[in-house]
Amino acid sequence: MELLFDIARPPLFFNDVSKAIVYTTEEVPKWLKHNILRRLEQLGVDHACVDDLSKIDRRRAAIGDYCENVILIRKKGLDAQTLARAKEIRPERLIWILTENLAVNMVEFRKREVTVDGDRLPFTHLMPVEELKLLHYLGKHVSAPGVILEIGPHYGGSTVTLALGNRKNSSPAQIFTVDCLMHASFHRYMQEYGLEEEVSWFEMPSQELARSWASVSESHGGPAIRLLWVDGDHLYPGIKNDLVTFLPYVAEGGCVVLHDYVTAFPGVIQAAWEELYNNDAFEDFTVFRQMLFARKKGGSRVSGAKRLIQTSRPPNAPDIALKWLARHPLLQHKKIALFGGGRHTESLLNLAYEHYSEFAKTICCLIDDSDACCCSGRFPAPVRSLDSAINSEPDYIVISSYDHEPAILDQLQAKKRIRDKLVGIYTNDQFHRFLADQSSVKTLYSEEDFPALAVQ
């Protein structure tokens, strides 16, 4: 019987997994579970199977060493309850294997709390250390008038991080935070860190708070907003409504930060382009990890930030990338291979076959060595290995990856046969200029402008 993932080419993150807890949901057949466990053994992963994640604490003395990694085997996507229970174990990483489409995915957690500028930051689900440090940094340094508004705290880790930075601000602001449902850990954090007076929280839809925002915030320095942190509804209508409603309240010199500005959440990207990039009142755009940062014109800039013409990592914009590729003089009527089978490539192809049919016809294949290629069988262009694609002699190889483009380019530069055929997007100066011409992006910060973000 065929095993799920290729033992000869397992996902790279399994190199760091020696022990793991394995939890399988009931809808996965026993033969399939057994099949996967055999493959884990072949990969050298010592595992302890559990039938209830909520009972891990009772067995922690016996299986404590296994808790650094949690492997979930499910038929399809993760539900919020299972994800929350896995998070409570505090693993280093969470791996989930979806039997419906044979996909293997991983997300990094942090097992240990991190100290930044003397402040102990809490364990925060799905936010890397660098993103927490940026929130802390902005809470400490943004000096515009008004309050801090957070949309979507849920667990409360980002709320604590903002509050700890805000305590060190020369003029601390009241923090308002709103979510449809606060997790139990949010209330624990408020008590543990003594934030009951500094943070005003509202368990309701953000649009409900918006209707009374002026009156609710006025006594605390509002309705002006010095820092707007948006991590709530990721669907286009929801985040667009949040931006349309609250952006007018952002004070001059105030900052806006959106989370999950990645192709997995196209609604976030679309709303950001419509309401931020095309808004002449904002400037200094940059992308830091999965966060989009912008500042309202006027006032003073964030302490320690320099003005740059461009950044080495411009915003993730597959629609603009495709428009640039379709107009690129070198690529006209050429045979093109796209390197990458991830979400960015999927977005490019969806747009290409729908709106740029002539360019789509020039795509001869997709290059991806992963068994979990999300584009396989979904588009006319076949998926091939790198060696097979090179043998088909494309005129150009376009690197279609937002997160890994520099690493891929470095890897492929070593192959002399294709060195002159490589075309990058987000590392390409021509694309930077095209991107600026397509929007109001004039000035960008770089990651180096935030010296406090160095990993400790």
Residue for token pair 């209508």: 237
What confidence category does residue 446 fall into, taking pLDDT thresholds of 50, 70 and 90?
very low
What confidence category does residue 315 fall into, taking pLDDT thresholds of 50, 70 and 90?
low
Q: Name the residue with higher pLDDT: 354 or 233.
A: 233
pLDDT at 452: 43
Contact indicator for 225, 206 with CB cutoff of 8 Å = no
Give the span between the Cα atoms of 346 and 350, in whole angstroms: 6
Give the span between the Cα atoms of 96 and 177, in whole angstroms: 31
Instruction: Using alpha carbons, select from 172, 144, 422 the residue that is nearest to residue 296.
Output: 144
Residues 370-376, mean pLDDT to the nearest whole number: 62
What confidence category does residue 213 fall into, taking pLDDT thresholds of 50, 70 and 90?
very high
Give the span between the Cα atoms of 138 and 165, in whole angstroms: 7
Tokens, residue 276: 């931020």
Q: One fold for both 12-108 and 318-435? A: yes
Residues 208-230, mean pLDDT to the nearest whole number: 94
Q: What is the pLDDT of residues 173-182, one digit of tens each?
A: 999 999 998 8
pLDDT at 8: 45
Residue 235 confidence (pLDDT) above 70? yes
> Which fold would CATH assign to domain 12-108?
Rossmann fold (3.40.50)
What confidence category does residue 377 fall into, taking pLDDT thresholds of 50, 70 and 90?
low
Domain extents in the chain: 12-108, 114-315+442-453, 318-435
Tokens, residue 6: 């290729």
Torsion of CA 348, 351, 353, 354, to 10 degrees: 180
Kindly report the CA angle at 268 between 262 and 271, in degrees rounded to 5?
135
CATH superfamily of 114-315+442-453: Vaccinia Virus protein VP39 (3.40.50.150)
Q: What is the pLDDT of residues 392-406, one digit of tens each?
A: 889 999 998 877 788
Task: Tell me what the pLDDT averaged over the chain comes to.
Answer: 79
Q: Which CATH architecture has domain 318-435?
A: 3-Layer(aba) Sandwich (3.40)
pLDDT at 1: 30
Q: 104: helix, coil or strand?
A: strand
